[in-house]
Chains A and B, each alone.
Chain A
Amino acid sequence: DQQVKQNSPSLSVQEGRISILNCDYTNSMFDYFLWYKKYPAEGPTFLISISSIKDKNEDGRFTVFLNKSAKHLSLHIVPSQPGDSAVYFCAASVNYGQNFVFGPGTRLSVLP
């Protein structure tokens, strides 16, 4: 049973528009959430995180929203750039721990 779900395997967005990547989780004990970005043949790189005491965290073009009651988080990228094209993983942990459970990823393609 997948504890972290990313129901869209892929997403295409026009350059300059907003990209919205969604993530749902089932374990109510998760209290720390992260987004990672992964290019082919490279390891994931940390993008942005949010703890369960917040509902929004912003870093430049990237904003993560957390809706605890819906067990849902989303990553907004605006404006989207071609260099943002990658696979985005949502990850979650319990007690702010390091044992992350990853979602299956969403492949974002930003079209010029």
Chain B
Amino acid sequence: GAVVSQHPSWVICKSGTSVKIECRSLDFQATTMFWYRQFPKQSLMLMATSNEGSKATYEQGVEKDKFLINHASLTLSTLTVTSAHPEDSSFYICSASQAPYNEQFFGPGTRLTVL
């Protein structure tokens, strides 16, 4: 099956710093990538949808200036958490699909801890 990787898998940062998380589709071209957030014992919450070469579409309640998403190529999307605070600590998961209405393949996730 298609493989999606995320880097880093785990990051600890100080409050006020920015953290970049990468999501790569390794063996296919992803026209669409999705970013999710999961709090402990809670569901995956879709944060935003990004299509290669265009601006991301954010879900209601997600601050676009805080969670910067860039989908510059068909194999790479990045999520930057700007000026991170402890409440941003969470598990962030990306997924990718080759075309609209195609199956999504999920990355392994990135655990962010903000001190």
Interface residues of A (CB under 8 A from B): 2, 4, 9, 36, 41-46, 89, 91, 96-105
Complex CA–CA separation, A63 to B11 (angstroms): 38
Write the chain A residue with the least CB distance to B100.
A98
| A-B interface pairs (CB < 8 A), number | 54
Report how many residues on chain B are interfacial, defined by Cβ distance under 8 Å.
26
User: In the complex, which residues of chain B have a beta carbon less than 8 angstroms from the beta carbon of A44?
Assistant: 44, 93, 106
Write the chain A residue with the least CB distance to B32.
A98
Interface residues of B (CB under 8 A from A): 4, 6, 9, 32, 34, 36, 41-46, 49, 93, 95, 97, 100-109
Q: List 9 A-B contacts (CB under 8 A).
A: A36-B106, A41-B9, A43-B106, A97-B101, A98-B97, A98-B101, A100-B46, A101-B46, A104-B42
Please tell me if the beta carbons of B44 and A42 are within 8 angstroms of each other in the complex. Answer: no
Please tell me if the beta carbons of B43 and A102 are within 8 angstroms of each other in the complex. Answer: yes
Which of B43, B103, B106, B109 meets A41, CB within 8 Å? Answer: B109
